[in-house]
Structure 1
Amino acid sequence: GGGGLITLPALLLAGASPIEALSTNKVQGSFGAATAALSYARAGQVDLHTQRVPALIALIAGLFGAVLATQLPSETLHLIIPVILIGVALFFALKRGLSDEDQVQRIKPEVFMALFVPLIGTYDGMIGPGAGAFYMIGFVTLAGYGILKATAHTKLLNFSSNIGGLVIFALFGATWWFTGIAMGIAQVAGAALGAKLAVRVGANVIRPLLVITSVALALRVFVQML
């Protein structure tokens, strides 16, 4: 998780406008989320029938978030994106790992679906990085899902809000399709390699590398603006 913390500032540094970077990042992000969501569904971890409404809400929220992003001046987005990226990176650095011991249902499913899903879906459509972690935390600590079930449902909603955002950005003609598809294919391949690396070296090594790299890239975007 957290790949958008690296790919989004990398796209900005490559010369993409904020909207182009956000849109192209959604293309590559959709590959990974779709692949994972389908895998979990085939394994019976996600009931697509009962999750149609939450997925639709996430999709609509993603549409709304992307519309908000397109209404902001490019200069404003260029300023707030690195700030958000650094904030999310610090969140990844400081948050503790979840376990099945955290699963306590604190709110009713209807409340979770009506309040939490639209909130994270809007953020995902507007900016994106860290949305999967936010969905995951909500599913475990608010909805009371176990880790496996929470992960499976996170991928479904993450994909839905990603697609919602991408639709709006694509309508504005702001997508680098070739770049996004190439990044998406690389992400699918990288996921397999990353899983093996994670098993070998552990999260205690990978997490600091993710945080340091993403903060450095975000700071480089700031410097580029000067």
Structure 2
Amino acid sequence: MLILNYFIYLNHTKFSITIIIFLALACFAAAAVDSIAGGGGLISLPAYILCGIPSHVALGTNKFSSTSGAVISGFQYFKNGKVNLKLLKYLIPFSFVGSMLGVYTVLKIDENLIRAIVLILILFVGVYSLFSKKLGMEDNFKGINRKNILLGMVLAFCLGFYDGFFGPGVGSFLIFGMIKIYGYNYINASGNSKVLNLTSNVSALIIFALHSQIYFYLGLITACAMILGANLGTKIALKKGSKLIKPIFICMSLGVAIKMIYSLVL
């Protein structure tokens, strides 16, 4: 009981047991969904904000806990041969630098402009995936070459920057990009995307930590929930494959778009 009370007092802010349980459940669900098709931030980040946590601290704490889930999910995909390290060694540095620049830029660019651009893109991704029956259902990866490596570097940098700056839908964009550039199916695209997403999370996490924008003790609790959720979600994805991932991917893409429309209208 003393240990529990210690965890409740976070950065001189007291959270009730109800809030702790609510955040743990929300983060569990977010990590399970995110490990399958991306978009988990659509669940976890609003949950933090709903509990009265300041937006920048919510972003930082969410990065802290979601990084833990991404580590578990990425390892599971890697262990099952769904991660291409020969490709990712070229892309990871661009994702890392892009995310770091995104965090530093977050207060210098009109966020509404970014929201509008991302809204259009995420709607396109969701609708295109919905009506393209063959997209991501077969693995047509033919190997890496100079052209697709360069395209992947651009993808990794831009989405790393976006993840550090704003974030919602980055997993969906990464999966879609991996399918279109490399011909992966959803399961292999998810595995490689998860590693890139983990990279951008770690990069952004470092900056948020340096600026004291993380409730670490709260993050430890929600990180445990995310580890459990990511482990469950990844096992389901690996077992069910692209037939399960595609509908969840479409739902999360359109869900992010609806959430963004709601935010813009208000």
TM-score (norm 2): 0.64
Q: State the match for 1:120 in structure 2.
A: 159
Quickly say closer, same or farther: Cα 1:131–1:45, change in 2 above 3 A.
Answer: same
Quickly say closer, same or farther: Cα 1:71–1:178, change in 2 above 3 A.
Answer: farther
Percent of matched pairs sharing the same residue:
27
Please state if 1:130 is matched with 2:169: yes
**Cα deviation, residue 116, structure 1:** 1.3
Does the aligned pair in 2 maintain the 1:9–1:218 contact within 8 Å? no
How far apart, in 2, do the equivalents of 1:205 and 1:153 lie? 17
**Cα deviation, residue 89, structure 1:** 7.6
Q: State the match for 1:55 in structure 2.
A: 92
**Cα deviation, residue 210, structure 1:** 9.2
How far apart, in 2, do the equivalents of 1:128 and 1:213 lie? 10
Deviations 1:70-110 (A, max 9, x none): 446xxx65x67987897788567644273227768998222
Q: State the match for 2:21 in structure 1.
A: none
Does the aligned pair in 2 maintain the 1:140–1:150 contact within 8 Å? yes
How far apart, in 2, do the equivalents of 1:38 and 1:140 lie? 20
How far apart, in 1, do the equivalents of 2:154 and 2:184 lie? 17
Unmatched 5+ stretches in structure 1:
none
Please state if 1:34 is matched with 2:71: yes
Tell me how large the CA RMSD over aligned residues is.
3.8
Does the aligned pair in 1 maintain the 2:44–2:62 contact within 8 Å? yes
How far apart, in 2, do the equivalents of 1:84 and 1:10 lie? 24
TM-score (norm 1): 0.74
How far apart, in 1, do the equivalents of 2:80 and 2:139 lie? 23
**Cα deviation, residue 213, structure 1:** 9.7
State the AA in 2 paired with 1:131: V
* Residue of 153, 157, 178 corresponding to 2:192: 153
Does the aligned pair in 2 maintain the 1:66–1:165 contact within 8 Å? yes
How far apart, in 1, do the equivalents of 2:92 and 2:125 lie? 25
Quickly say closer, same or farther: Cα 1:215–1:185, change in 2 above 3 A.
Answer: farther
Quickly say closer, same or farther: Cα 1:207–1:112, change in 2 above 3 A.
Answer: closer
The higher radius of gyration belongs to 2
State the AA in 1 paired with 2:136: L
Q: State the match for 2:49 in structure 1.
A: 12
Deviations 1:40-75 (A, max 9, x none): 222333243652331122111111111111446xxx
Alignment map for 1:1-226 (pairs within 5 Å): 1-48=38-85, 50-71=87-108, 94=127, 95-96=129-130, 98-100=136-138, 108-191=147-230, 215=258, 219=262
How far apart, in 2, do the equivalents of 1:206 and 1:110 lie? 24
**What's the secondary structure of 1:51's corresponding residue?**
helix
Quickly say closer, same or farther: Cα 1:221–1:113, change in 2 above 3 A.
Answer: closer
Quickly say closer, same or farther: Cα 1:188–1:119, change in 2 above 3 A.
Answer: same
- How many pairs were matched up? 217
**Cα deviation, residue 133, structure 1:** 1.2
Unmatched 5+ stretches in structure 2:
1-37
How far apart, in 1, do the equivalents of 2:158 and 2:151 lie? 10
